[in-house]
Amino acid sequence: MKIPFRPIALGLVVLLFSGVLLERAQAGGGHFFPPVADPLVREECGSCHLAFAPSMLPKSSWTRMMGDLKNHFGDDASIDTAKTERITRYLNANAADSGSQRNGSKFLRGVSMENGPLRITELPKWVSEHRGISPAEWKSKKVGSKANCVACHVDAERGYYDE
Amino acid sequence: MKTQKATTLLLAALLLPLGSYAASRDELLAQYALSAKAASPAFSGFSAARGEKLHVTKFAGGKAETPACTACHADSPRSAGRTPAGKSIEALAVSLTPARYTDPAKVEKWFKRNCNDVLGRECTPLEKGDWLSYMISQ
């Protein structure tokens, strides 16, 4: 009998590879935060900073933030009503407490879902993960702001925060 | 013969978007010119030199962190800029970012935000036309 080595080897490689991918998606039980997929949200919420992953805040946070874009952390981020409504719907559908966001809800441990904060950088889990970073590092030219996730997490645009 | 025709067609297809980009920018400039003329009958056209001055001048009326357009957009329109929250901004010069200033709603949205940040007021149609002319010339 002739053993078909090549197909078997190929199959093994494919298996291994998908195992690696799966591992990465679940790494450490929660480093993947699905990035914003909607082009409108990327355009309107991704020009001044990274388009933050909706699963990093609960619905109550997004709803409150979207209700006052004119006073958005000192900036005027306002847009027309139709766009505002569409973006609010998207953020809420993918929020930490939307049901489908396992990682988001871990990241939000100890946070009130009904009265969430406006800042990801104020979540207790975020604060504890970043305790080791010195004030000088936050102020450095490369970083400049806590909201500049990409300065340290080069893959943040793709949803990964594990480096 | 045939390849020549194909090349011409291909070239036309490639240039068409650039042509319509230019057309929509011209339309926007024409609108600013109408408003500028309405505001001042002495208006006699936009000036890229005045636009450059607006771009680099430090104003006192806006936010302390952003005294000039160059605070976020780099000193040169041909370089990439960066927002205070660290997001990089593509070069403003049309030669480098050909799709710029082709969506009037986007242009107006950012003029409103950014002029308020820098000057503490909205820009006039004359200022907008001058500034756009500068970026188109770059």
Q: How high is the pLDDT of residue A31?
A: 73
Average of per-residue pLDDT across B37-66: 95
Q: Which of A71, A148, A157 to mutate to test the interface with B (most CBs of B within 10 A)?
A: A148
**What is the distance, to the nearest Å, from the Cα of residue A57 to the centroid of all Cα atoms in its chain?**
9
pLDDT digits (tens, 9 = 90+) for B78-94: 999 999 999 999 999 99
- Return mean pLDDT, chain A: 85
Nearest chain A alpha carbon to B73: A48
- For residues B96 and B73, give the distance between their C-alpha atoms in angstroms, rounded to a whole number: 14
pLDDT digits (tens, 9 = 90+) for A111-134: 989 999 999 999 999 999 999 999
Q: How high is the pLDDT of residue B19?
A: 75
For residues B38 and B16, the model is more confident at B38
- For residues B30 and B35, give the distance between their C-alpha atoms in angstroms, rounded to a whole number: 9
**For every residue of B83-111, which 3-state class applies, written as one string?**
CCCCCEECCCCCCCCCCCCCCHHHHHHHH
Please determine, for residue B118, whether its predicted confidence score (pLDDT) is greater than 80.
yes
Residue B52 in contact with partner chain A when CB distance is under 8 A:
no
Q: How high is the pLDDT of residue B6?
A: 72
Closest CA to A36 of A143, A161, A156, A147: A156
- For residues B86 and A50, give the distance between their C-alpha atoms in angstroms, rounded to a whole number: 8
- Domain extent at residue B101: 2-137
Please determine, for residue B117, whether its predicted confidence score (pLDDT) is greater than 70.
yes
Please determine, for residue A5, whether its predicted confidence score (pLDDT) is greater than 80.
no
Task: State if pTM tops 0.90.
Answer: no
Which residues of chain B neighbour A79 with C-beta distances below 8 Å? 109
- Return mean pLDDT, chain B: 92
- Measured in angstroms, the CA of A111 and the nearest CA of chain B are apart by 24
Which among B86, B89, B116 has the least Cβ separation from residue A76? Answer: B116
- Measured in angstroms, the CA of A96 and the nearest CA of chain B are apart by 23
Which among A47, A76, A79 has the least Cβ separation from residue B87? Answer: A47
Task: Write out the H or E segment, with its range, that includes residue B16.
Answer: helix B2-39
Residue B117 in contact with partner chain A when CB distance is under 8 A:
yes
Split into its structural domains, chain B has a count of 1
First to last CA, chain B: 38
Residue B77: CATH number of its domain: 1.10.760.10
* Lowest-confidence region among A29-43, A48-62, A67-81, A117-131: A29-43
pLDDT confidence band for B126 (50 / 70 / 90): very high
Cβ contact A75–B113 (<8 Å): yes
Which residues of chain A neighbour B112 with C-beta distances below 8 Å? 76
Domain ranges of chain A: 37-158
DSSP class of A97: T
- Measured in angstroms, the CA of B86 and the nearest CA of chain A are apart by 5
Please determine, for residue B67, whether its predicted confidence score (pLDDT) is greater than 60.
yes
Which among B86, B89, B109 has the least Cβ separation from residue A145? Answer: B86
Which residues of chain A neighbour B109 with C-beta distances below 8 Å? 79
Evaluated on CA atoms B20, B21, B24, B30, the torsion sign reads negative
Cβ contact B83–A143 (<8 Å): no
DSSP class of A1: -
pLDDT digits (tens, 9 = 90+) for A15-44: 444 444 444 444 444 578 999 999 999 999
Cβ contact A148–B86 (<8 Å): yes
- For residues B55 and B70, give the distance between their C-alpha atoms in angstroms, rounded to a whole number: 7
Judge contact between A86 and A103, C-beta under 8 A: no
DSSP class of B81: E
Q: How high is the pLDDT of residue B9?
A: 66
- Measured in angstroms, the CA of A112 and the nearest CA of chain B are apart by 26
Q: What is the ipTM of this complex?
A: 0.82
Q: How high is the pLDDT of residue B11?
A: 65
Amino acid at B10: L
Pairing of strands B88-89, B81-82: antiparallel
Token pair listed for B58 = 């430090």
Nearest chain A alpha carbon to B118: A75
Average of per-residue pLDDT across A62-73: 97
Residue B121 in contact with partner chain A when CB distance is under 8 A:
no
Q: How high is the pLDDT of residue A75?
A: 94
Closest CA to A116 of A92, A133, A81: A92
- For residues A163 and A153, give the distance between their C-alpha atoms in angstroms, rounded to a whole number: 6
DSSP class of A34: P
